[in-house]
Structure 1
């Protein structure tokens, strides 16, 4: 029977979840642009492994509930904080600034992580589980590197960025112009350092419990915080999204979309997915951006969909008697 973490039990389980997080392997390796933090959590019996690819501003520590749940289901988890966020090296004097020079640097680091840290320890199939910016990184990685992963399950991918009220091409022109004028390490218009929004104003989740635990973690561990994006990040990310039609991969992929997502552009994702033969897609009504941290009525079907995807693509499928 699949183990599932329920939000109404989260407060009672949080100490156990935190202890589980602390019991994992926490270390660093050298990425393309600096030291990268990573964590490994392995259950006693491993059915298969997951490489968890987080979104923008996220630290792997934020996923402690999910990692705990996956381990309870005999799934090993490997997760690396992206350069410039979490517990990995920051790239600018302003530690709150979201910055990258080339978006492809993220996937290059993912490749280094998988080849140098993950694969030497694997004794089973492995899958990619990605969220938001991590979904874009995942797609970039699958398109540019030869991989032998069994499949990728991507939640609310950042394949198109909501740049309202301006069209994305206008936003890219502004970002390029700002970078040419020497403002690459300045916050893009409307961006600022880390802000803790009240639950009533958040665009991430309908789950008050999970949102409260996320904000509490970042309040108590300020080194995890990250603010808005720079003009350089915006230019790099938008440049990459315009290359999206050229990205092809034969790896089985499932994309889960949030119907009420205001962070990424679902239409771009749908149009791209329809042109690929290896991609299936689902959409969750009433869901906001963070599907993996949503209310149980959304998150539970999502996780069951994820487990089903992995079971259907494993090279060895267990049979009962």
Structure 2
């Protein structure tokens, strides 16, 4: 069952045709979906990253609409306006990483219920790239996928923190203490705690300011650091995915030469063993391709749409 949900399209700077929807997963979590019904060529499923929310993808929806595609985005469980899973709503949490696949199935059911145009395509950023890779391996019915800085590995600074992260999160994994925020992560929204010069997301000061203003104006979507449980589940999932063969879907992947959040080496390894896949390394980009300088994000949209067009059934 779908019911109307808020979607701030002015903040999103998205195209007309926006609608928000509440849906419920099989395990009883209420999720928010956002649709921009703007084209009949097909529907692009948008899998956001950790801490993100639907409105952040209004620019992507606009670019896709200009090319004739409808968009459907999701607030994952534990973030955006979807149900938060802990009493401290600023801690990003998931009980099992596989729970995100319930969110994916709920999204697909909603796409059918809304009668959104087929075929489907996938655009996945950061954590959404980790969730998306698992979904593809499980037969996600999309024609092609475009990844932006997928989270197939996490960089730790300094690298010795990796051992601590694995050890502490594994030790506490079975216990209530695993719901604590991971040490060294932000209490509130990281965007509100850093300057442009410190940021690891974008080289574009205007887009960085927009991200900060959006959280200020839409505080219900703010999210801080992850729980130890989320961290351990994410590390386990990335390790498990690394050991599996690539899916058959045509894939395009972007990673920045200035990337410091996800592990470019893991991305290169995955893409090197994905038949027919393309990896685009953009030297002057950070983590957020869709929030980067105009020429970088426009090129990302242009190449993504061209990739979808090449693998459209009508091509």
TM-score, normalised to structure 2, is: 0.89
- Which of 294, 297, 307 in structure 2 is aligned with 1:296? 294
Deviation at 1:299, TM superposition (A): 1.4
Q: How many residues align structurally? A: 300
- Could you say which residue in structure 2 is the equivalent of 1:155? 148
Asked whether the 8 Å contact 2:204–2:291 carries over to 1, the reply is yes
- After TM superposition, the structure 1 = structure 2 runs for residues 107-126 of structure 1, keeping only pairs within 5 Å, are 107-114=101-108, 116-120=109-113, 121-126=115-120
Q: CA deviation at 1:276?
A: 2.2
Matched, 1:133 2:127: yes
Instruction: State the partner residue of 1:270.
Output: 268
Match of 1:305 in 2: 303
CA apart distance, 1:108: 2.6
Aligned residue for 2:84, secondary structure, equals: coil
**Superposition deviation, residue 164 in structure 1:** 2.7
Query: CA separation of 1:19/1:107 partners in 2, compared to 1, >3 Å: closer, same or farther?
Result: closer
Deviation at 1:188, TM superposition (A): 0.8
| Counterpart in the other structure of 2:22 | 28
Q: 1:72 deviation in Å?
A: 2.7
Equivalent residues in 2 for 1:208-287 (5 A)?
208-244=205-241, 245-287=243-285
Contact 1:50 1:128 in 2 (8 A): yes
Alpha-carbon distance in structure 2 between the residues aligned to 1:208 and 1:280 = 29
The residue aligned with 2:5 is none
Question: Bigger CA drift: 77-86 or 187-196?
Answer: 187-196
Q: Which of 48, 53, 57 is matched with 2:51 structurally?
A: 57
Please give the alpha-carbon distance, in whole angstroms, between the structure 2 residues aligned to 1:266 and 1:52. 22
1:254 to partner: Cα distance: 1.2
In structure 2, what is the Cα distance between the partners aligned to 1:100 and 1:163? 21
SS at match of 2:173: helix
The 1:227–1:286 alpha-carbon spacing in structure 2 relative to 1, beyond 3 Å, is same
Distance 1:181 1:51, change over 3 A: closer
The answer to whether 1:41 aligns with 2:39 is: no
Deviation digits for residues 230-253 of structure 1 (CA, Å, limit 9, x no counterpart): 100000000101102225311111
SS of the aligned residue for 1:219 comes to: helix
Cα deviation digits, residues 139-170 of structure 1 (max 9, x gap): 011112x3331011011000001123226354
- Equivalent-residue separation in structure 1 for 2:210 and 2:257 (angstroms): 23
Could you say what secondary structure the match of 1:184 adopts? helix
Match of residue 188, structure 1, among 182, 186, 190: 182
2:3 is matched with none
Preserved contact between residue 204 and residue 289 of structure 1 (Cα < 8 Å): yes
Looking at structure 2, the residues matched to 217 and 275 of structure 1 have their Cα atoms a distance apart, in angstroms, of 38
1:243 is paired with a residue whose SS is helix
Contact 1:60 1:80 in 2 (8 A): yes
Residue 46 of structure 1 and its aligned partner are, at CA, apart by 2.0
Deviations 1:13-52 (A, max 9, x none): x95964746x511111112451000011112x42222001
Aligned equivalents of 1:111, 1:95: Cα separation in 2: 24
Could you say which residue in structure 2 is the equivalent of 1:11?
none
Give 4+ residue runs of structure 1 displaced > 6 Å after superposition. none
**When the two structures are superposed, what TM-score results if normalisation uses the length of structure 1?**
0.88
Shift in CA distance, 289/302, structure 1 to aligned 2, threshold 3 Å:
same
Cα deviations by residue, 1:53-108 (Å, 9 ceiling, x for unpaired) = 10000001111222223223321000111000001000000010011121121123
- Distance (whole Å) between structure 1 residues aligned to residue 284 and residue 36 of structure 2: 32
Deviations 1:115-157 (A, max 9, x none): x11134133322100100000110011112x333101101100
Offset of residue 262 of structure 1: 0.6
CA contact (8 A) 1:97 1:230 kept: yes
Contact 2:11 2:214 in 1 (8 A): no
